[in-house]
Amino acid sequence: MAFPAQRMRRLRRTPALRRLVAETRIGVDDLVAPLFVREGIDEPAPIVSMPGHVQHTVPSLLVEAKRLGALGVPALVLFGVPLRKDARGSGADDPGGIVQVALGELAAALGDEVVLIADLCLDEYTDHGHCGIVRPDGTVDNDATLELYQRVALAQAVAGADIVAPSGMMDGQVGAIRSALDGAGHIDVAVLAYAAKFASGLYGPFREAVDVTITGGGDRRGYQQDPRNGREALTEVALDIAEGADMVMVKPALAYLDVIASVAARVDVPVAAYHVSGEYAMVKAAAERGWIDGDVVALEHLVALKRAGAEVILTYFAGEVAEALRA
């Protein structure tokens, strides 16, 4: 059947018709809100490159987490900014470290109302800015780092994390963490693997948010994935699932829709996408200048991720979108 008998515009004519036949629907249940908590501050500190977001104190973090929970956001992922950093990243597995303290407070205040995800990495805690132990030649020691990741996972589980999310892209990290958790009796703590995390230029605002600078002008291209490689991402995902990942993530999101779709078509575990700080900041900056309708574009971005196959979306727009969906 062809024109004029077939007219595709018939089902686009009204908002109600468009809603009725929509193929992809974004809902608050799809969203995870990233939050930052900083040690040693008395009031929230705005993050300049991420308008609307702050480095929280523990009390302000609790207020924001409760607000998000009341909006129906089912989960948050927590990043810590310690007062002091060192070569080992000691604050990451310290029971008194900022994320562990915050997790304990959140767990006590929220119970099972909001899923608590703890980012599991060292870069926020190291004075060199890398995601692991650095050798004298400046390279990251993968296997020595795994031992620290195990310690961090246990500290986060004890503190109250429902899910730990290793983001360092160390080979074998999921298996090492799963073994440590199970060996200590934390069999119910899930692992969300940053399985295909690309060495992207879109992480700049995040590094401001966690005060991370890689010393000597270095980068993470030796362990994060090359943006030019798509098939390699599928291998990374398969390895993490084989090691026990309960969920897998692609990061960043919009430039890797093909990877998200390929992963979603191949795996039987939930697929997450991280709509990262640079993606958020670009929308905010363009909207501030009046070049785009920021609210429309933000929702369009998230719908694209869902359409590509992401079932879980980590986004700095979580609170705004939740409010809009409730309206």
Q: What is the mean pLDDT of residues 9-14?
A: 95
- Pick the catalytic residue: 85, 251, 284, 306? 251
Taking CA atoms, 262 is separated from 23, 73, 177, 233, 308, in Å, by 19, 27, 26, 9, 9
Q: What is the mean pLDDT of residues 50-74?
A: 98
Q: Is the pLDDT reported for residue 234 higher than 90?
A: yes
CA–CA gap between residue 281 and residue 166 (Å, rounded): 24
Mark whether 251 is an active-site residue: yes
Q: What is the pLDDT of residue 22?
A: 96
Amino acid at 33: A
Q: What is the pLDDT of residue 312?
A: 98
How sure is the predictor about 55, in pLDDT bands with cuts at 50, 70 and 90? very high
Q: Is the pLDDT reported for residue 101 higher than 70?
A: yes
At 102-150, the pLDDT tens digits run 999 999 999 999 999 999 999 999 998 888 989 998 889 999 999 999 9
DSSP calls for 188-241: T-EEEEEEEEB--GGGHHHHHHTT---GGG--STTTSBPTT-SHHHHHHHHHHH
At 19-34, the pLDDT tens digits run 999 999 999 999 999 9
Mark whether 66 is an active-site residue: no
State the chain's mean pLDDT as an integer: 96
Q: What is the pLDDT of residue 217?
A: 66
How sure is the predictor about 65, in pLDDT bands with cuts at 50, 70 and 90? very high
Q: Is the pLDDT reported for residue 200 higher than 70?
A: yes
Q: What is the pLDDT of residue 138?
A: 85
Q: What is the pLDDT of residue 264?
A: 98
- Pick the catalytic residue: 85, 197, 284, 306? 197
Q: Is the pLDDT reported for residue 197 higher than 90?
A: yes
Q: What is the mean pLDDT of residues 215-242?
A: 91
| Least confident window among 111-120, 189-198, 206-215, 314-323 | 206-215
Give burial (CB, 10 Å; 0-12/13-18/19+) of 127.
middle
At 239-267, the pLDDT tens digits run 999 999 999 999 999 999 999 999 999 99
Q: What is the mean pLDDT of residues 154-175?
A: 97
Q: What percent of the chain has pLDDT over 90?
A: 90
Dihedral of the alpha carbons of 58, 160, 33, 174, in degrees to the nearest 10: 130
